Amino acid sequence: MESASLQPHQVLPFLASIRPAEMEAQQLATCCAAWKTITLLPSGHGQTTTASIDHISWETASTGSLGRTPRKILLLPSFSLILTIQSCSCTDASRTITSRTDPSSLPSTLTYSISSNLYSTSYNGTIAGGALPAREPEGEILSSNLKDFSLNDLKNATKNFRSDSLIGEGGFGYVYKGWIGEPSSSMVVAVKKLKPDGIQGHNEWLTEVNCLGQLHHPNLVKLIGYCSEGDNRLLVYEYMPKGSLDNHLNRRAEPLSWQTRIKVAVQAARGLSYLNDECKIICRDVKSSNILLDLEFNAKLSDFGLAKDGPTGDDTHVSTRIVGTYGYAAPEYIATGRLSVKADVYSFGVVLLEILTGRRAFDRSREGAEQKLVDWARPQLGNKHKLRRIADPKLGGEYPKKGALELSLLAQQCIGEDAKKRPAMSEVLASLEKLQDGLRQMSSSSAALS
């Protein structure tokens, strides 16, 4: 029986959802389609359990009861992280899982296929539905400003979704470049076509339509329209020709200058501050690939399918299913399902680290502790003597040392373990604007001297 690595982004949902002999076969097959086997090791000696995807069964390496001893999940062979879970009693040497048990007996329910690094779980009976529930009567599109496209309209716009129109792909589906309107006055657009079995479902699609359809800000990507025809769910956005921040930091594009990086950080912070502080909305998926750039490298936040209304009144958080991207999600949110705007601040802090270091939030090509950016960078932040170690080498040293140190200190505050001590996004924005003002003054002084 062939064993395969359990990817880091698959660990949390797996731990949250799995208990031997209590997992529906279909659920197991859906969640673990990429795995051949997953090996569980009990803390005692000699006994192991393997969840076989091929046979949808639990098998023990030795006969007899496994009892209720704690087990550990071993990440084979690419990763050495070990996490602990509690097992339940399983007395059979091989037991086929064919039926669902009482949902209340499960610690949580996996709600998405985990083929990408998005994960999502529902805790203790929490309904796994769309975000912004108070604003969203079921199935209703609230904005009257959006164009309702037919599927045929969007087929024409994208040359029938031809491969040469494809500009992006993810777990949610595909993004195509298209043209709408008359040939003489056509508008370039980006058309996102959801996969029927993708990680973004109808609720998330509807949330994004209603969120972007009602909110307007220079630093939020503009949603032009949508298509909801049969099982087809599509979104039509303004086209952002420079792509995502992630592309410029991590691909072979021309490196972004320090000035451009700070400009992007300021504008992204402006958009997020608008959502968090003015609209009381928590984005839940702030990351560099969701920060899009226009021709002048102006930044706009995108992808609001996971957005949720923040707490109201005296509440400090809302309890919800866990969604996000590995490497960006705040630790307290992952651990408890309790969500506050400070989770977005944490994610934005990770983006600041990406801007400073040029590294990915999670990079499985790196060794051990260097894979997760936060873990690698945190011990070195705020130390001027270690600044050169973490600054993006693609900058070639062309950055103000004081400004880079201040950015590292700001990132350090944002990714703090104590959510209450993290700054508000309005404070993050003020700090970044101060950094940008300092750059402008330096530029003016240099121009005056030359």
Residues in binding site for ATP: 193
Where helices occur in 6-90 by DSSP H, the ranges are: 8-17, 25-31
> How far apart are alpha carbons 230 and 175 in whole angstroms?
19
Which amino acid, one-letter code, is at 234?
L
Q: Provide the annotated binding site.
A: 193
**Residue 187: strand, helix, or coil:** strand
Contact by Cβ (8 Å): 153, 227: yes
102 is a catalytic site residue: no
Amino acid at 336: T
Q: Which helix (H) or strand (E) holds 447?
A: helix 425-449
Three-state DSSP class for residue 136: coil
Ramachandran assignment for 207, one of left (phi > 0), alpha (psi -120 to 50 degrees), beta (any other): alpha
Residue written as token pair 């990680």: 199
Is the alpha carbon torsion for 371, 305, 176, 355 positive or negative?
Answer: negative
Q: Sheet with 37-42: list strands edge to edge.
A: 82-86, 70-74, 37-42, 49-52, 57-60, 94-96
The pair of structure tokens assigned to 243 is 């792509």
Determine which one of 246, 285, 303, 392 is catalytic.
285
- Is-contact 388 405, C-beta < 8 A? no
- Which residues are annotated as catalytic? 285
